[in-house]
Amino acid sequence: MLRFLLRRSLGAVVILLVISAVTFFLFYAIPRNPALLACGKGVCTDDQLAVVEHNLGIDEPIPVQYWHYMVGIFAGRDFPAGHCPAPCLGFSFRDNRPVLDTILDRLPTTVSLTIGGALVFLVLGLGFGMLAAWRRGSLLDRVVSSASLVLSSMQIYFLGPLALAVLVYGDHQIFPQPEYVPFTEQPLDWLKGLLLPWLVLATIFTANYTRMARATLIEQLHEDHVRTARAKGMSRATVFFRYAWRGSLIPIVTIFGVDLGSLFGGAMITEFTFTLPGLGRLAVESVTQSNLPMLMGVMLFAALMIVLFNIIVDACYALIDPRVRLA
Amino acid sequence: MTSKDGAATGGASTDAAPADGARATEDSATGARATGAPADGAAADGAPFLSVRDLRVRFRTEDGIVKAVDGLSFDVRRGSTLGIVGESGSGKSVANQAILGLHNPAVTDISGEILLEGEDLTTAGERRMQWLRGNKVAMIFQDPLTALSPYHTVGRQIGEPFRKHRGASRREARDRAIEMLGKVGIPNPRLRVDDYPHQFSGGMRQRAMIAMALVCDPDLLIADEPTTALDVTVQAQILDLLKELQQEFGSAIIMITHDLGVVSRVSDEVLVMYAGRAVERGSVREVLSRPQHPYTWGLLSSMPRITGDVGRPLVPIAGTPPSLLNPPPGCPFAPRCAFREEVAGPESCDTDRPALPQGRGCACHLTAAQQQTLFLERVLPRLA
């Protein structure tokens, strides 16, 4: 297990290096001069522009800039506007602070949104999926299946505004206005403010997890070893929960890991819809403001999350399936 | 080894009580119980232990109703071995899974009678069936790799029915699993009991499967092609093991196979199935040395013999089995039969369904005399 974690961590570092290189060259190769933006069009003289470029550190060739960026991650970096301690993901000139500080400010919102939402959709999705698989072919199964099919074809940008219009700004306000209050300050307000975003986020995911859990469980129930368990005289519940359920964990954990990783990287649309100051919203803001260092930092952070959860998922495989040996 | 009766008396299962009581009246000699000798070991009584009567298994599919088993009758005597032979899709596995009630009731219609010691299993409730499965009737499946759960240790899977049916503790079940692994010839059972199936070889997996099936000392063991997925040397070992354990446990065995070699090695009696029906039955000697049905002849002709001429060509049976969706009336083998023109009035092959008599016999429109002459003159020379 230790060897596996070590090997995968090294692999993850390589993957992150590649991702950082690709995003770096992509961002800095686009024909948009940050110095010009900082100056304002037609205000700076060429000499002034050169000074600004130098201050931003963009007067050097791109590979050299990338080198500085990488060194900054491990050793910290000094900008004319201030010091950026390691791990330095760049410096945002727009708000005059290291990128990482802003990311860490926004992170609790995203983490709260993700953990609450994931808890709801995991419990509901797997619950409904099990129920439908247990009573497959019944009316209940058909209702659950069709409902999840309809809901899973919904989109957050449709469901979110709809929920806002009806449940918050409707004739009767049923849900409180979505907002982010830090858990450490006001736990109850934290809960109230995130309730609707959780439910909207969870609705679509619940539908998907219901469908997936039902399908994999039914598939597992047709496995040979499940039939063997029945032939041994095991009760229906034992067959279902001890044998079929165990086998369906692999696909569920796989998808859940990917979903969780990308949600931690920022639920862009959800955060934007409910104006929650999380990482997803930060990414969108950075794009509209051409804040390249910030965008780069958010991207790298999201990539880190996805890579991290992939490792966790792989480690879970070994716990679920004894045939998977980690080395 | 714990005797079945003794363990059932001590077991916590309330289900066990009535059957146990029934057996107590059956053998009034209480001494048999005290000594732990199997009270039902001797097959002195004439009534068969398992009696299948006019069994029909139908599956409702999107294409229509599949008549997988269509009027099947056979008996299994206590402690004996019945070999059921037939090609894929002949209904042999389906019929035997019906004995255990393993089919999905939502899409399956079962009619006829499956009498286990006089109790009709086709009408038994799910709880009763759960009690019977693995306890009185156990099953071994074809591919031990997929038939064993990859997620649980071999020992746990073997001990599980023992815990359920005998109310054994975790520890007792583990000890029993070790004992059973030793009985089926796994070396170092104490070390292997915590292994997972993927750490076993193919032959060892099938041995573990057999251990699991016999853990509760069942009266009937259904072995569904237990050697098909194994290589030939291991096949022989597994068959020998089954015979050996049958002696020890006194279980009756239904051996489902497509291989007449397997049948000749282990069976006392043979039932040949074709297209969901039984076409010939008899003792192993009778069926293999004096087969009566043209389908059985075909099976024998298509099988290599170690004693015969190596240059003898193997003759496959021409054609394919009929669809079970809309089986034509008459003899299901008629379209492939090389001898139908010998029947007086061959059109009866297409219209009348030949009946299989009780005891030794076959379901064919040829007369007994014709069968004998045709076999001796036209089939036997090809087999030499």
A325 touches chain B (CB under 8 A): no
Q: Which residues contact A226 (CB under 8 A, 6 or more apart)?
A: A220, A239, A243, A244, A247, B149
Confirm if B280 and B360 have CB atoms less than 8 A apart.
no
- Token digits of residue B87: 């090609």
Instruction: Give pLDDT, residue A110.
Output: 93
Say if A222 is an interface residue toward chain B (CB within 8 Å): no
Computed over every residue of chain A, the mean pLDDT equals 88
Percentage, residues of chain B above pLDDT 70: 86
pLDDT of res. A5:
85
pLDDT at B297: 92
Q: Which of B46, B36, B35, B39 is nearest to B19 (CA)?
A: B39
Q: Judged by CB atoms within 8 Å, which residues 55-94 of B form the interface with A?
A: none
What's the pLDDT at B279? 94
> B134 vs chain A: nearest CA distance in angstroms?
4
Domain segments of chain A: what residues? 16-98, 100-324
Contacting residues for B135 by C-beta, under 8 A, at least 6 apart = A233, B161, B165, B216, B218
- What is the reported pLDDT for B375? 92
pLDDT tens, position by position, A203-261: 989 999 999 999 999 999 999 999 999 999 999 999 999 999 999 999 999 999 989 98
pTM here is: 0.81
In this structure, which long-range contacts are made by residues A243-250, counting pairs with CB atoms below 8 Å and at least 24 apart in sequence? A243/B149, A243/B151, A244/A133, A244/A217, A244/A220, A245/A130, A245/A217, A245/A220, A246/A320, A246/B149, A246/B151, A247/A216, A247/A220, A247/A223, A247/B151, A248/A213, A248/A216, A248/A217, A248/A219, A248/A220, A249/A320, A250/A317, A250/A320, A250/A321
Identity of the residue in A223, A231, A235 whose CB atom sits nearest the CB atom of B139: A231
pLDDT at B366 over 80: yes
pLDDT: which is higher, B48 or B179: B179
Three-class SS of residue B119? strand
Q: Does A235 touch chain B (CB under 8 A)?
A: yes
Mean pLDDT, to the nearest integer, of B46-69?
A: 91
Show residues of chain B in contact with A321, CB under 8 Å: 150-151
**Chain B stretch 285-344, residues whose beta carbon is closer than 8 A to a beta carbon of chain A:** none
pLDDT at B45: 52
Walk along chain A (327 residues) and give the pLDDT tens digit of each residue. 788 888 888 999 999 999 999 988 887 777 667 777 767 666 778 888 788 777 777 778 888 888 988 898 888 888 877 888 888 888 887 888 899 999 999 999 999 999 999 999 999 999 999 999 999 888 999 999 999 999 988 888 898 999 999 988 888 888 888 889 998 899 999 999 999 999 999 998 999 999 999 999 999 999 999 999 999 999 999 999 999 999 999 999 999 998 998 888 778 888 988 989 999 999 999 888 888 889 889 999 999 999 999 999 988 988 899 888 765
Reply yes or no on whether the pLDDT at B253 is more than 90: yes
pLDDT at B33: 34
User: Residue B25 — very low, low, confident or very high, per pLDDT cuts 50/70/90?
Assistant: very low
Confidence of residue B24 (pLDDT cuts 50, 70, 90): very low
Q: Which of A224, A232, A247 sits opposite B151 (nearest CB)?
A: A247
CB pairs A-B closer than 8 Å: 73
Is the CB of residue A320 less than 8 Å away from at least one CB of chain B? Answer: yes
- For chain A, percent of residues with pLDDT exceeding 90: 47
Shortest CA distance from B215: residue in chain A: A232
Handedness of CA B325, B329, B332, B337 (dihedral sign): negative
Q: So what's the pLDDT on residue A78?
A: 85
What's the CATH fold of domain A100-324? MetI-like fold (1.10.3720)
On whether any CB of chain A is under 8 Å from the CB of B147, the answer is: yes
What pLDDT is recorded for position B291? 93
Q: How far is B269 from chain A (nearest CA, A)?
A: 25
Interface contact flag, A225 B164, Cβ < 8 Å: no
Least confident piece of the model among A262-266, B22-26, B70-74: B22-26
β pairing state of B119-120 and B277-283: unpaired
- The minimal CB distance from A224 to the residues B106, B146, B152 is found for B146
Q: What ranges do the domains of chain B cover?
A: 50-136+218-382
Give me the pLDDT at residue B51, please: 95
pLDDT (0 to 100) of residue A40: 67
Distance CA A297, CA A27 (A): 12
What pLDDT does residue A32 have? Answer: 66
Domain spanning B50-136+218-382: CATH 3.40.50.300:
yes
